[in-house]
Structure 1
């Protein structure tokens, strides 16, 4: 007698499992496995379990409020270089959870294409984390050796009820800010003679342009379903759900490549102070 094949696990259960994996490298591996299994049709498109309110975190790094974080400097000294790459590692680590939660929390309503897009983003962020953590180890340190802040996940928690708000804040504010600041960081790293580090940052920048483009695509579709102009809806949601400020300088060319025109952000940008 042949027993019937067991049904494939649900994509929601697989995503939840990755979110609840605390060890950073294990989370990166689990995330890439989820993305691969979904792409290969090994996961059922079922959302039968809820996403956790907060993903699992390792014991280190110590998480501080953003205002208590020590100043990092410009990365010229060995200590400064380690602080720079540690900060980047933390951003990429939290970005894994942001993309996983996006797919798992909103995928049932948003459909297969949305899930595929954000699981692909999560796999990219996992790869970024592994590469940056390896760079950090080459400098004689490790992820967790320095404190980090929890502001990125706070933005996710504030928008857990509304996919349009999440898209407005996470890809279109937080990730878009990376498009603004990464080129200058890349040039400083290259000028210091670290060609390997510059290649890492160039790859991350290219991927993040695509990630913002994915966020903009799904946000515009959500705005169209609501019958609201995308730029006006974005401004309204950012003013309600983002506690920080949208501030220049902007990398307009990278933002434009990602589909994020100045119609969205110019009117809400905080003026840059002279000096």
Structure 2
């Protein structure tokens, strides 16, 4: 039957009416769901699922440029069963000489890993889309988040095996306090959380392992030694890698590197301005194209293809000595601004080196900077 004014166009025909395309679930959507989940076991389970789906390609987009994600919460949802105290009021853990002290150490480790789950998903949700980070950035921190969730799960299970549970003791909120101080800057977040706190974990873990072993708890010692310790090295490495990347990207006049202070950009050596750094150093291709993403006639598939075409393809390895010197100088400036006090030796030099974290990065920060006084 012919309608007034001509034939009604068929569904899906050229120039005709099309069904609205469904909004794709993205990795950032999953990160926000995890941050909104209070139960720590469920938080870890959802994180493991999201990371696995992303790494298998079942979540095709890191974020949907046609539907900007909401901002992550200032503080993630947390279980009310875990009583949080100021660091100054948190009971001392002891040195593992008694069963009670070892339980306190184990509980503290589980708490740190639970917070690390939130920190890893927060960095994805807070900075990934905002700074149009490469796909490898999302890969790295999805893996980190998955590891941290597994660490929490096995430590929490070990607590139960020993007749306790996560939440049985009070804990402090220091890690998230520093996360809030760096919530405006990915560069500062990477420096403080992933290059200072994560590296500090590498420094103290061997001693912690020895304390459990000396107390006769070989099972916990092996858990820390064989599972958690080697994976924590890769987490520190991710922080170092992406700190370097951001510094070099800012030197390349990248307009998305808004977290880099201009004074710090000026410290970097001059790099090519065509978006590509070759010779097996860093290659950035297509950066800036994300601003032109649209939800076109092919809907979801077209959006996926545009993200794949426009995301920066990042290859990180060695680069020039002068570039490394500029990055290290930037690291010193950022840590002195956002971390309270000097770094505490002794340092686990071997583990830090395995993470790409040479002494030149951190040794100058181990003493307070002394201002020169005019005579």
Q: TM-score range by the shorter chain?
A: over 0.9
If the length of structure 2 is used for normalisation, what is the TM-score? 0.69
Post-superposition offset of 1:65? 1.0
Q: What residue is the counterpart of 2:122 in the other structure?
A: 101
Q: Does 1:111 align with 2:134?
A: yes
Q: Pick from 334, 352, 355: which aligns with 1:255?
A: 352
Q: Does 1:184 align with 2:207?
A: yes
Q: Does 1:81 align with 2:102?
A: yes
Task: Check conservation: 1:248, 1:270, Cα contact below 8 A.
Answer: no
Post-superposition offset of 1:181? 0.2
Q: Does 1:238 align with 2:261?
A: no
| Mean CA deviation greater in 83-92 or 102-111 | 102-111
RMSD: 1.8
- Offset from partner CA, 1:171-205 (integer Å, 9 cap, x none): 10000000100001111212222221111111211
Post-superposition offset of 1:114? 0.5
- Offset from partner CA, 1:211-244 (integer Å, 9 cap, x none): 1111101101111123331111111111111124
Rg (Cα) greater in structure:
2
Post-superposition offset of 1:5? 7.8
Q: Pick from 35, 41, 45: which aligns with 2:62?
A: 45
- Residue segments in structure 1 that go unaligned for 5+ positions in a row: none
Q: Pick from 211, 224, 246: which aligns with 1:222?
A: 246
Post-superposition offset of 1:164? 0.7
Distance verdict in 2 for CA 1:58–1:244, change over 3 Å = farther
Q: Does 1:22 align with 2:38?
A: yes
**Distance across 1 between alignment mates of 2:101 and 2:367:** 28
Post-superposition offset of 1:23? 0.4
Post-superposition offset of 1:10? 2.1
**Distance across 2 between alignment mates of 1:249 and 1:50:** 38
The equivalences for 1:194-233 within 5 A come to: 194-202=217-225, 203-227=227-251, 228=268, 229-233=326-330
**Distance across 1 between alignment mates of 2:79 and 2:126:** 22
Task: Check conservation: 2:41, 2:153, Cα contact below 8 A.
Answer: yes
The equivalences for 1:82-161 within 5 A come to: 82-108=103-129, 109=131, 110-161=133-184
Distance verdict in 2 for CA 1:219–1:32, change over 3 Å = same
